[in-house]
Chains A and B, each alone.
Chain A
Amino acid sequence: MPNPIETEIIRCALLQAAEDMNTTLIRSAYTPTIYEAKDCAVALLDREHRVLGQSSGLPIFLGNLEECTRATERLYGRDVWQPGDVWVLNDSYIGGSHLNDVTIYAPIFNDSGESEPQLLGFAASRAHWIDMGSKDPGGSMDSTSIYQEGLRLGPVLVEKGGQPCRDVLELISRNVRFPEPTLGDLRAQIACSRIGAARLREIVERWGLDTIDAASAEIFEQTATLERNAIAAIPDGIYCAEGLLDNDGIVLDVPLPVRVAVAVSGDQISIDLSDSADQTLGPVNCGAAQAVSACRVAYKLLVSGDIPLNGGSFGPLDVVLREGSMFAAVEPAACQYYYSHLGLLIDLVIKALAEALPLRVAAASYGDSLITQFTGVDPRTDKAFVSQEATVGGWGAWHDSDGESCLINNVNGSLRDMPVEVLETLFPVRVNHYGIRQDSGGAGKHRGGNGVIREYTFEAEQHLSLWWERSKTPAWGLFGGKPGLPPQVLLNPGTASEQSILKANAVSVRKGDVLRCESGGGGGYGVPNERDQASVDLDVAQGLISAESSARYGA
């Protein structure tokens, strides 16, 4: 039985092993989606698939990499794990997210010399690959089945006994649009597995497997204790909230309900999503694993932000899903936009618990990645291009602060906006305006953050695709706070041909057309007339609210 000192040194070493995996992945990746936007996550698992250490650039990848090793074992049995093997998987119904999110994982064995090698654990990483060979470059906004979304890989070996499986690499490179960087990212993920394996082997060699087992049991128990205490502090009860997603991108006039029922009882919490919409024709579906991850994000935001994440995490959390719903989609549901309903779900869990945890919660945020995509052939180079941008927006206020303005949404984290100078250099568009959207944050004792306005002029004919959400349920306020403004996208605003659109797939636009994109604001917290006059005046002076709208704060 290790003492608390050994346990803590082992705990730090395991966390650092995961950090080293993350550093290696980011350092070696080929595409900016990984090394810049950090659309990736890594985990070091023990041989029972429990997390020893994890690091993530994307909150929504929280705690579900182990689903991949578990599913492989369920399918092929425990004997399938062999030294030197590396596996790949991107099946949406296992990993939960879209096919672009590819998980690479490897069993880790000790170097035992004469005796039978012993399984120590697994090293896994997930990263967004820029193209999986879907019907449209990068991914479609109007897919209606997974078969349109690209190459789908079940658990498949990419290395066997330390040697690359050339047939599988050929299969991949013949099915994706950009094989060179894609295989580069694959190699980066393999390098990441190798570092994870080497680090875990070093740790086991130094301390012995029995000590590691005992220490990790103790480490998990520490986390479990902290989490149970945090849940026990929430008053028992059943807390509900619901909201509407605009549509599935195909059937535009049917909003999709998301309903959460959170039950707290003693030191246990359950989140029931079974009353939410059925799986949809359009691509706003996810596999069960990703719905569980989203609930874990909400849980982490509310109760366990600072508690270390490991195999002891999330014990008190039960997630109830209905198979065939948009949160537990089954074949052949399209999953490209697997996260729009997850962003809403996270905000709704927080809303449900507002009465129980008034000091922990925040009003709703603008809520979605709001994707704007331009594709075509750049007349300056005669080369095909794909420009894809996510949009920042306003976050909700809380008990002692205004919400932040122009911040990336809750399922993302490290994602940065595209600099105007880089965008205009790489693509045939010009940005006329990029600024704070005045008055878009909800009024309240504490004001919601403002969204953003980004206006483009197209410098050449091209195709426009949009995935903009949350107009039916814009960011709500809490405790008397007002909602933020919904998003709005206008093509050629202020002209006879003005057109308001939020979702579009490859619509033709002409040179000189103008596109104005306005993201939503966050919700306010507390009744507006309790806001102190000095703060209202300051907001007017800073131009965050207009002089006219300051009347909303009148007594």
Chain B
Amino acid sequence: MTYRVAMDIGGTFTDVVAYDENTGTFEAAKSPTTPRDLTRGMLSAIDKVVENAGEISFFVHGTTQGLNALLERKGSKVLLLSTQGMRDVYHIARGNRDRMFDLHYRKQQPLVQRADTTEVRGRLNWKGEELEPLDEAAVVAVAEQVKCGSFDAVAVALLFSYLNPAHELRVGQILRQELPADIMVVLSHEVAREWREYERTSTAVLEAYTGPVVRKYLSKVQEKFSAAGMDVPVQVMQSSGGVVNASFAREHPLQTLLSGPVGGTAGGAAVAGLLNLKNAICVDMGGTSFDVSLVLDGKPDISHEGDADGFPLLTPLVKLHTIGAGGGSLAYAEAGGLRVGPESSGATPGPACYGNGGTRATVTDANCLLGRVDPTWFAGGSLQLDVDAATSAIGSLAAELNLDPVDLAGGIVDVANAKMAQAIRTLTVEHGLEPQEFTFIAFGGAGPMHAEAIAQELGIREVVIPRFPGAFSAWGMIGSNVRRDFVHPFFIQGELLDQDSMVDELKALGRRAGSALEDQGIGPAHHEFEYSVQMRYQGQDYALTVPLTAADEPAEEDFLQTICHRFGELHESRYGHSTPDAGVEFVSLRVSGRGLLPAMTPKPFEPVAEAVGKRSQRVIFQSRSWDAAVLRREELPVGETVEGPAVIVEGTSTTVISPSSRARVDENGFLIIEVGAK
């Protein structure tokens, strides 16, 4: 039992990273994704990095099954059950528009059609007290409707269930009694114990819509793995950046919705830990999109709500900000001006230089013209770039704009970089921080190519290109710990707080988290708990999560004063102001239980024996042609310094270093670029 394996299953490729516990070394590979039966692609990826699959001791992966079912609208048939009078809450969807000047505005098509929504009598009030009892006979009739209508799942979202779940629990009991076991029943308070009925309903519907697909998928993976002699439990990455086992994920499939991309942020946090960084910007740039996320105080920036394809989601998830910029972003002329993106050449035809019939200029074509890629060894030599096609695409746009083609190519890259830099700045401004306070971690196929230039634009001094930048999400998962989150509502105004009951509830939450971790096979010695309380000023709608030092901190005499102060500071840093004398209220208690996996002790990075060696090619920076070294990354030893201009190529990515910067290889094998150091 010697390997830890992590895998990120993308739309086109399945990335895999393996850590050999005996030798302390990592290996990465890629294999085509096999959409009809993902396990085929998964097993062949494993074959590339592990000799005997039976020797895998830990397996974690990021799955986009749920997300794909959502994006392609291929989820299950869901019946939505609401409180009498409220069946349309889900369809009204709060009524706001996110495009201001569109006469032809349509909301996102709901996942449940209106004919499949129904109501049941039974009402609670704002304190969770029963005003009208639940109509149990009606619930039995709903079960009949589910059976007759061949539904796969039922989402139950009743008013005020976050305060008092009794009605929802009883509905769940009746439905589970009446329905076959393969029909999923989702109760809104179990997926999101928070107020705001539309958002909670949407969360329950998302779970019901994607859940059955994810369940089937996970069962199949486990089955195929066993058949292949792998008895290792299948673990899944959660949207919140922690790992859970498949049997938990089957019960709570929604928590894995953003499983794939989150690995990058988890990796960012791991890099931050290795290098002792406080704040980091994680940038994942691929062909069509550019995802930015933050690591703050060494931890992924997690939000307790977000959205998935326009549908709100009240579960913890890493905050990812996506903009339409990538290697495939199109450059074009508009009224005599130059524009770059957000429109993309997509997977087909892709950039002109891919030689698949694309004729319009893209960012990748511009990089190609500038010599910033190695056309003979792009994507690990799997793709031969057609420089002539790139030249002709850029050339015709240059003629239209009356520019020199090389200047235009530089300009396209500069505009793309400027836009990405601005998107990053907006994200940090939201936290009241300037980008200079961060280290830049770049990955994805195109991230390392643009990283130094973007950092330059933002005034950032240090860029980290981790190992396996093209498979970084997988690398990020391999070191992630198990994580289980629990929430308990705790509504009380600050001055009325019963400190002992808060401690009791926190301890109860801690016990739940502890036993959940034991269910995951992790003994108490390896548990870590982070307690927090959600608070707001009286009258505010939204709450902030305020950390506690321990479950019994609220027992301390001056707790109220301490926690108000802490809340005020957090409010100040998040919103730029606080009101020290204003009354506060508590909303809920949270615990995040982490199960620590045995630490990895990788050996210092060792380069492969020199094989190809150093070459050079002409590269354009600031409209000047430079003689730049072209190096293979895996040949660079620890401690090696590379002076710009240089192009460092590897299997899945290319790192560009301008004449004003230099890079060195650290003991982890990371490239550390000192921006503007020359």
On A, residues with C-beta under 8 Å from B are 3-5, 7-9, 11-13, 16, 19-20, 23-24, 27-30, 32, 36, 56-57, 59, 180, 184, 187-188, 191, 195, 218-219, 221-223, 225-226, 297, 300-302, 305, 350, 360-362, 392, 395, 398, 401, 404-408, 413-417, 419-422, 424-426, 430-436, 452, 455, 541-544
Q: 6 tightest CB-CB pairs across the interface, nearest first?
A: A5-B411, A392-B95, A16-B422, A435-B88, A28-B576, A433-B85
Is A8's CB under 8 angstroms from B195's CB?
no
- Say yes or no: A23-B100 contact (C-beta < 8 A), given A424-B125, A431-B85: no
- Of B89, B162, B336, B407, which one neighbours A5 at CB under 8 angstroms? B407
Residues on A with C-beta less than 8 A from B426 are 16, 19-20, 23
Known: A24-B576, A417-B95, A435-B92. 20 other contacts (CB 8 A): A4-B333, A4-B336, A8-B411, A9-B415, A12-B415, A23-B426, A27-B575, A57-B100, A195-B429, A297-B101, A300-B101, A398-B103, A401-B104, A416-B94, A417-B92, A421-B159, A426-B539, A431-B85, A435-B85, A541-B115
CA distance A405 to B101 in the complex (A): 17
Is B337's CB under 8 angstroms from A218's CB?
yes
Is A12's CB under 8 angstroms from B114's CB?
no
Residues on A with C-beta less than 8 A from B93 are 406
- For A360, the closest partner residue in chain B by CB is B103
Residues on A with C-beta less than 8 A from B430 are 23, 27
A226 nearest CB across to chain B (Å): 5
- For A304, the closest partner residue in chain B by CB is B101
Judged by a CB distance under 8 angstroms, whether B408 is at the interface is yes
- Of A23, A395, A417, A422, which one neighbours B541 at CB under 8 angstroms? A422
Judged by a CB distance under 8 angstroms, whether B338 is at the interface is yes
- Say yes or no: A419-B196 contact (C-beta < 8 A), given A8-B339, A225-B335, A300-B101: yes
- For A296, the closest partner residue in chain B by CB is B101
- Of B195, B333, B338, B340, which one neighbours A421 at CB under 8 angstroms? B195
Identify which of B105-113, B239-247, B601-609 touches chain A.
B105-113
Residues on A with C-beta less than 8 A from B91 are 405-406, 436
Is A12's CB under 8 angstroms from B97's CB?
no
A-B contact pairs, 6 of them (CB 8 A): A4-B401, A8-B415, A300-B101, A419-B195, A421-B162, A425-B126
Residues on B with C-beta less than 8 A from A36 are 541
CA distance A59 to B422 in the complex (A): 24
CA distance A94 to B11 in the complex (A): 55
Judged by a CB distance under 8 angstroms, whether B160 is at the interface is yes
Q: When each residue 127-161 of chain B gets 1 if its CB lies under 8 Å from chain A and 0 otherwise, what string results?
A: 00000000000000000000000000000000110
B514 nearest CB across to chain A (Å): 32
A345 nearest CB across to chain B (Å): 15
Is B101's CB under 8 angstroms from A415's CB?
no
B381 nearest CB across to chain A (Å): 33
A231 nearest CB across to chain B (Å): 14
B98 nearest CB across to chain A (Å): 8
Is A420's CB under 8 angstroms from B95's CB?
no
CA distance A161 to B582 in the complex (A): 31
A126 nearest CB across to chain B (Å): 15
Q: When each residue 194-207 of chain B gets 1 if its CB lies under 8 Å from chain A and 0 otherwise, what string results?
A: 01111100000000
CA distance A548 to B333 in the complex (A): 54
Q: When each residue 570-582 of chain B gets 1 if its CB lies under 8 Å from chain A and 0 otherwise, what string results?
A: 0000111101001
Residues on B with C-beta less than 8 A from A541 are 115
Is B414's CB under 8 angstroms from A9's CB?
yes
Judged by a CB distance under 8 angstroms, whether B523 is at the interface is no
Residues on B with C-beta less than 8 A from A188 are 576-577
CA distance A407 to B96 in the complex (A): 6
Is A16's CB under 8 angstroms from B425's CB?
yes
Residues on A with C-beta less than 8 A from B199 are 419
Is A305's CB under 8 angstroms from B126's CB?
no
Is B88's CB under 8 angstroms from A301's CB?
no
- Of B125, B162, B541, which one neighbours A32 at CB under 8 angstroms? B541
A351 nearest CB across to chain B (Å): 12
Judged by a CB distance under 8 angstroms, whether B334 is at the interface is yes
CA distance A62 to B341 in the complex (A): 25
- For B410, the closest partner residue in chain A by CB is A5
CA distance A16 to B425 in the complex (A): 9
A12 nearest CB across to chain B (Å): 5
Is B197's CB under 8 angstroms from A421's CB?
yes
Is A8's CB under 8 angstroms from B422's CB?
no
CA distance A189 to B121 in the complex (A): 47
CA distance A435 to B241 in the complex (A): 38
CA distance A544 to B198 in the complex (A): 20
Q: Which of A407, A421, A543 has the most B CB atoms < 10 Å from its CB?
A: A421
CA distance A366 to B625 in the complex (A): 62
- Of B100, B126, B338, B576, which one neighbours A59 at CB under 8 angstroms? B100
- Say yes or no: A420-B96 contact (C-beta < 8 A), given A23-B429, A222-B335, A543-B115: no
CA distance A219 to B160 in the complex (A): 52
- Say yes or no: A413-B97 contact (C-beta < 8 A), given A219-B337, A422-B195: yes
A179 nearest CB across to chain B (Å): 12
Is B92's CB under 8 angstroms from A5's CB?
no
- For B160, the closest partner residue in chain A by CB is A421
Is A392's CB under 8 angstroms from B196's CB?
no
CA distance A411 to B106 in the complex (A): 17
B367 nearest CB across to chain A (Å): 15
Is A452's CB under 8 angstroms from B197's CB?
no
Judged by a CB distance under 8 angstroms, whether B638 is at the interface is no
CA distance A4 to B407 in the complex (A): 11
CA distance A188 to B333 in the complex (A): 38
B295 nearest CB across to chain A (Å): 20
Residues on A with C-beta less than 8 A from B102 are 301, 305
CA distance A226 to B92 in the complex (A): 36
- For A8, the closest partner residue in chain B by CB is B338
A520 nearest CB across to chain B (Å): 14
A138 nearest CB across to chain B (Å): 15
A375 nearest CB across to chain B (Å): 16
Is B96's CB under 8 angstroms from A415's CB?
yes
- Say yes or no: A543-B96 contact (C-beta < 8 A), given A401-B106, A421-B126: no
Residues on A with C-beta less than 8 A from B574 are 27
CA distance A245 to B605 in the complex (A): 76
Is B414's CB under 8 angstroms from A5's CB?
yes
Is A407's CB under 8 angstroms from B336's CB?
no
A385 nearest CB across to chain B (Å): 10
Is B103's CB under 8 angstroms from A362's CB?
yes
Is B97's CB under 8 angstroms from A408's CB?
yes
CA distance A188 to B576 in the complex (A): 8
Judged by a CB distance under 8 angstroms, whether B597 is at the interface is no
Judged by a CB distance under 8 angstroms, whether B419 is at the interface is yes
Judged by a CB distance under 8 angstroms, whether B548 is at the interface is no
A300 nearest CB across to chain B (Å): 5
Judged by a CB distance under 8 angstroms, whether B277 is at the interface is no
Judged by a CB distance under 8 angstroms, whether B174 is at the interface is no
Residues on A with C-beta less than 8 A from B77 are none
Is A392's CB under 8 angstroms from B92's CB?
yes
Residues on A with C-beta less than 8 A from B125 are 424, 430
Residues on B with C-beta less than 8 A from A417 are 92, 94-95
Residues on B with C-beta less than 8 A from A218 are 336-337
Is A5's CB under 8 angstroms from B338's CB?
yes
A122 nearest CB across to chain B (Å): 20
Q: Which of B100, B418, B574 has the most A CB atoms < 10 Å from its CB?
A: B100
CA distance A297 to B100 in the complex (A): 9
A452 nearest CB across to chain B (Å): 7
Judged by a CB distance under 8 angstroms, whether B183 is at the interface is no
Residues on B with C-beta less than 8 A from A434 are 85-86, 88-89, 92
A456 nearest CB across to chain B (Å): 11
- For B93, the closest partner residue in chain A by CB is A406
Judged by a CB distance under 8 angstroms, whether B432 is at the interface is yes
Q: Which of B94, B126, B415, B429 has the most A CB atoms < 10 Å from its CB?
A: B126
B401 nearest CB across to chain A (Å): 5
CA distance A414 to B96 in the complex (A): 5
CA distance A444 to B339 in the complex (A): 40
Is A416's CB under 8 angstroms from B95's CB?
yes
Residues on A with C-beta less than 8 A from B422 are 12-13, 16, 19
